[in-house]
Structure 1
Amino acid sequence: MYDAHRPRPAPREEVVRVSPTERTGPVVATLALAGTVAAIMQTLVTPLIAELPAILHTDASNAAWVITVTLLAGGVCVPITGRLGDLFGKKRMLLVCAVPLIVGSVVCALSSSVLPMIVGRGLQGMGMGMVPLGIALLRDVVPAERLSGSIALVSASMGIGGGIGLPVAAAVAQYANWRVLFWGSAGLALLIGLLIAVCVPDSPAAARGQRFDLPGSLGLAVGVVALLLGISKGADWGWTSGTTLGLLIGAVVVLLGWGAMELRTREPLVDLRTTARPRVLLTNVASVFVGVGMYANMLITPQLMQLPKALGYGLGQSMLHTGLWMLPGALMMMLISPLGGKLSNARGPKFTLITGIVVIAAGYGLALPLMGSAWGLMIVGMVVNSGVGFAYGAMPALIMGAVPPAETAAANGFNTLMRSLGTTIGAAVVGVVLSQMTVTLGGHVLASENGFRTGLLVGCGVSVVAAVIAATIPGARAAGGDRERRAEADRVPANG
């Protein structure tokens, strides 16, 4: 413990000096692929949702935990693995994250009941820590002139993996045994581990010698689990039920206590003073709203695609065809990310973030007249995901321009948690809208056309709010100073 007002010693800054001629393409490609594979794990079981109760010999309520546990594990582990990367080295922690991906996939492939499947899916969720670790490592090993584009690509891998994973998983589930999905993911995770070991260089542990904040980690874990669980399961349990309200109130109490404890801890899991800097704080708040805006489209489009044509607004597509219609959107995110990096170099990441959010809002505007056809929804997905590609690449650049090297991975992990919180809130909000605005067909209660239109308007409105928040993000001399230090480091020969 120490006096919260006493100045903290400045962290020792270390920079890996990279020759301008050194090939960093394999490093960036490996880290982008690692993030994509980790994100694929999130959508892996989507095509199996209806079949999970029969597969696992349980009821639908228990089977739903197969999806929920991955969200909870990712939310807890992302900020913790980020801090561990600062303490012990980012490459080392990337390799550590590959282990639960492999083990979890094998456990799921061998499962015949719900409990081992939940354990395996929880292990898969732990692998999401690869994304912020990969982004932070780029700051150490990629020359300054290539950094923005590399960050944009690796950051966008979260969305790319989700978009690619759906059609691939649907195809495998339709034409092969469901266990093939998990054996395939185990193989991909093993490949990622090998590529990281071979292609990714070691980077400095900028916070080496500091202590790991175990009480802070436990406090954040309890608060995040309670918050995400209350939001994600509130619709099932009832928003006014004792369980939901207890979790949400408990989350607020625990997180407030955690914040007070972190402010009095000499070497905290998350430095809240750094997080409170306007540039970092407003970027994280905007990240929550961007997450809500992005997920509204991801939730609405598949449902519109698969609802029966007899409703007049459903498109009657299979899960596989739905995934294929959505695939161009994921590919657009991949293609647009390098352009976002160039835009950040030319105009700054704040401009790129605002541009991306405006594009997302425009995509929702297009959705209202185009939602009546698969082609129209495909175009909407391409526009929205292009905006996401811009925004997701800019947010880590804004964060890293405002935090010291000793907190890079932890700060990116916290930002990734904010994005995940946004997607969880987005799912809950749109879910409430669709559940309240319904029609009946053949004895089944289904979301109405007005419900979908309202959900799209929510996505558009939230994106507008995100743009306003992003516009208030201040310029930071720290970001300029960081770029100057990196440029100077790049001019120094690799042998020092």
Structure 2
Amino acid sequence: MAHSAEQYDTPVAEQFVPARGRGPLIAVTIVTGFTAAAVTFMLSPLLPVLLRDFQLTVGDVAWVFTALLIGSGVSTILLPRLADVLGDRVATTLGALFLAVGTAVPGVVHTYPALLIGASVMGVGAATGQLGVGVLRRHLPGESVRTAVVVTQFAQASGAGIGLVAGGVALSHISMQQFFLSAMGCYLVVALLAWLVIPSSSRDRTVGFGVGNVVGLVAWMVVLLYGINTAGSEGITSLKAIGFAVAGLAGAGIWAVLEKRSKAPVFDLALLRSGTVARTMLAGLTIGMAIQSVTFLIPFYVQTPHAVGYGLDYDALHTGLILLPYSVVGAVAGIVGGVIAARTRPLAVAGIGAVCHAIAALWLITSMPDASATAFFVAACVYGVGSGMVGVGLFASMQSCVPPSLTGMGTSMVGIIVTISGSLGPAIYSTILQSKSLAAAPGVPAEDRYQLCLLVAGVCDVVVAAICLTARRKAAESTS
């Protein structure tokens, strides 16, 4: 049964089940978020290594990320919903096992098809780190939404930083197969810890899983993401990309109509009547594109051979190191953002983060042509501040609007909208980069294409800042 939007406009009374100890539970939550985030970020600096090791083309490597992204979309739907219905212990353990299996496949079978399969399965476990919000909110007596969100975001930001450099460091000592098998061992240990430490939960009979609803949501999400990523590799005018994108949007519309009538909805669409929820979702739709400007554009720029006229000619390790401040500063900013969110509206924190993103984009635009390593280091720090605050602000905003029993639903709603937006970013950026090449180096984007991409990202940041920072004022006007 749907809940009224008014019910969710104010914080709800939290109900907690007994916990087995504050310290171990927080530690396992940090480890889970840390390791889950690492798998997503460790592949970004390894693009050239994958290309050489598996004898691939650039297009082939792009499909590895497409597989990971599509799997992540499924994960964002499936795992938080399982946590609401079957309990946090089952969902977290299952997510860690997906990560273990995903890394084992390319570790055991060293082929391109195995790499694609492994990336897909890894993606299905990618949302494991987000489950920490529900674990802490439901199992730590007296803990606030802010604490649950801050701890989880800190763990994920830290893991992202390690992931950026782990691949480059590890591959200087071991092979790609050994790297994947070592990761498999880590995730098996995480799965065991999650099962032993996270308390079991009794089945909540009032919350239905809604298999048909979940399958329908996954179906249109996968079709839409496939269409968006096809646009990135084949161009936004590709009939194939347009067809899948239209089919995905049409499926979303049909699913939304059926979801309203469902007795076991995956998302309670009545939540969207809440001004806070609507603004949070709209901000998430645009901020995903802005975040991808860091993880997608910067690695390509810095790994461009300087001989073509720009670029830093970096390898995977150096790329990870120059992006490391993004994650480290983001982890600290997430904590600071949580403190600020406790004293004001969480959306205001997200708005401040979006402003930081816009400043970083402007800094890089003005640093070109021929941006230096220092320029990217400074930008990574400012981007880190922005991402840490945006993450805490959006997730805290949504969690303030749902009861503890629907923590997973709130996590999924933010996660899905950011995933869709995040996949749209590389598609748009790829199209822009391919629109103009250097005359002396066909296939290498002209440097001003990066400036144009950053301008698009900066505009998205400004839109998010406006949505979030005007929330308080408009809310006051509506009640006057």
Common fold: TM-score over 0.5:
yes
Q: Which moved more, 1:26-35 or 1:49-58?
A: 49-58
**Aligned residues with identical type, % of pairs:** 25
Which residues in structure 2 correspond to 1:196-211 (within 5 Å)? 196-202=194-200, 207-211=204-208
Q: Deviation string for 1:11-47 (max 9, x for gaps)?
A: x98711679xx96344233223312322222233344
Q: Deviation string for 1:377-405 (max 9, x for gaps)?
A: 11110111111101101211111111233
The aligned residue for residue 241 of structure 1 is: 238
SS of 1:307's equivalent in the other structure is coil
Are residues 26 and 390 of structure 1, via their aligned partners in 2, closer, same or farther at CA, if it must alter by over 3 Å?
farther
The 8 Å contact of residues 137 and 144 in structure 2, kept in 1 or not, is answered as no
Cα displacement (A) at 1:275: 3.7
Which residues in structure 2 correspond to 1:27-426 (within 5 Å)? 27-52=25-50, 55-56=53-54, 61-62=59-60, 64-142=62-140, 147-202=145-200, 207-370=204-367, 372-426=371-425
Q: Which moved more, 1:192-201 or 1:142-151?
A: 142-151
Aligned-residue RMSD, C-alpha: 2.9
The 8 Å contact of residues 152 and 394 in structure 1, kept in 2 or not, is answered as no
The aligned residue for residue 489 of structure 1 is: none
Are residues 402 and 210 of structure 1, via their aligned partners in 2, closer, same or farther at CA, if it must alter by over 3 Å?
closer
The 8 Å contact of residues 308 and 316 in structure 1, kept in 2 or not, is answered as yes
The 8 Å contact of residues 434 and 451 in structure 1, kept in 2 or not, is answered as yes
**2: CA distance, partners of 1:159 / 1:5:** 33
Q: Deviation string for 1:293-312 (max 9, x for gaps)?
A: 11112222222212222344
**2: CA distance, partners of 1:405 / 1:476:** 28
SS of 1:403's equivalent in the other structure is coil
Q: Which moved more, 1:195-204 or 1:74-83?
A: 195-204
**1: CA distance, partners of 2:86 / 2:116:** 29
SS of 1:444's equivalent in the other structure is strand
Cα displacement (A) at 1:177: 0.6
Q: Deviation string for 1:393-436 (max 9, x for gaps)?
A: 12111111112333211221121111112211111222222221
Are residues 14 and 337 of structure 1, via their aligned partners in 2, closer, same or farther at CA, if it must alter by over 3 Å?
closer
Cα displacement (A) at 1:203: 5.0
Q: Deviation string for 1:158-186 (max 9, x for gaps)?
A: 44433331221122234421112211211
What code does the residue aligned with 2:16 have?
V
Q: Deviation string for 1:306-363 (max 9, x for gaps)?
A: 2222344312222211111111221111122211111111223122111111111122
Give the TM-score taking structure 2 as reference length.
0.89
SS of 2:444's equivalent in the other structure is strand
The 8 Å contact of residues 224 and 251 in structure 1, kept in 2 or not, is answered as yes
**2: CA distance, partners of 1:385 / 1:255:** 33
SS of 2:342's equivalent in the other structure is helix
**2: CA distance, partners of 1:115 / 1:388:** 34
Are residues 475 and 105 of structure 1, via their aligned partners in 2, closer, same or farther at CA, if it must alter by over 3 Å?
farther
Q: Which moved more, 1:53-62 or 1:247-256?
A: 53-62
Q: Deviation string for 1:182-220 (max 9, x for gaps)?
A: 112112212222332344334565x43443211111111
The 8 Å contact of residues 235 and 431 in structure 2, kept in 1 or not, is answered as no
Are residues 240 and 454 of structure 1, via their aligned partners in 2, closer, same or farther at CA, if it must alter by over 3 Å?
closer
Are residues 473 and 132 of structure 1, via their aligned partners in 2, closer, same or farther at CA, if it must alter by over 3 Å?
farther
Cα displacement (A) at 1:95: 0.9
The aligned residue for residue 478 of structure 2 is: none
SS of 1:346's equivalent in the other structure is coil
The 8 Å contact of residues 297 and 456 in structure 1, kept in 2 or not, is answered as no
Listed as ranges, the gaps of 5+ residues in structure 2 are 476-480
**2: CA distance, partners of 1:50 / 1:325:** 16
SS of 1:445's equivalent in the other structure is strand
**1: CA distance, partners of 2:97 / 2:377:** 36
The 8 Å contact of residues 282 and 470 in structure 1, kept in 2 or not, is answered as yes
Deviating beyond 6 angstroms after TM superposition, the runs of 4 or more aligned structure 1 residues are 4-7
Cα displacement (A) at 1:150: 3.8
Cα displacement (A) at 1:146: 5.7
The 8 Å contact of residues 278 and 474 in structure 1, kept in 2 or not, is answered as no
**2: CA distance, partners of 1:52 / 1:437:** 26
**2: CA distance, partners of 1:280 / 1:294:** 21
Q: Which moved more, 1:184-193 or 1:262-271?
A: 184-193
**1: CA distance, partners of 2:438 / 2:282:** 35
How many residue pairs end up in the alignment?
469
**1: CA distance, partners of 2:22 / 2:58:** 47
The 8 Å contact of residues 137 and 203 in structure 1, kept in 2 or not, is answered as no
**1: CA distance, partners of 2:148 / 2:263:** 33
Listed as ranges, the gaps of 5+ residues in structure 1 are 478-496
SS of 1:313's equivalent in the other structure is coil
The 8 Å contact of residues 232 and 426 in structure 2, kept in 1 or not, is answered as no
The 8 Å contact of residues 29 and 135 in structure 2, kept in 1 or not, is answered as no
**2: CA distance, partners of 1:367 / 1:123:** 35
**1: CA distance, partners of 2:122 / 2:291:** 23
Are residues 227 and 51 of structure 1, via their aligned partners in 2, closer, same or farther at CA, if it must alter by over 3 Å?
same
What code does the residue aligned with 2:191 have?
G
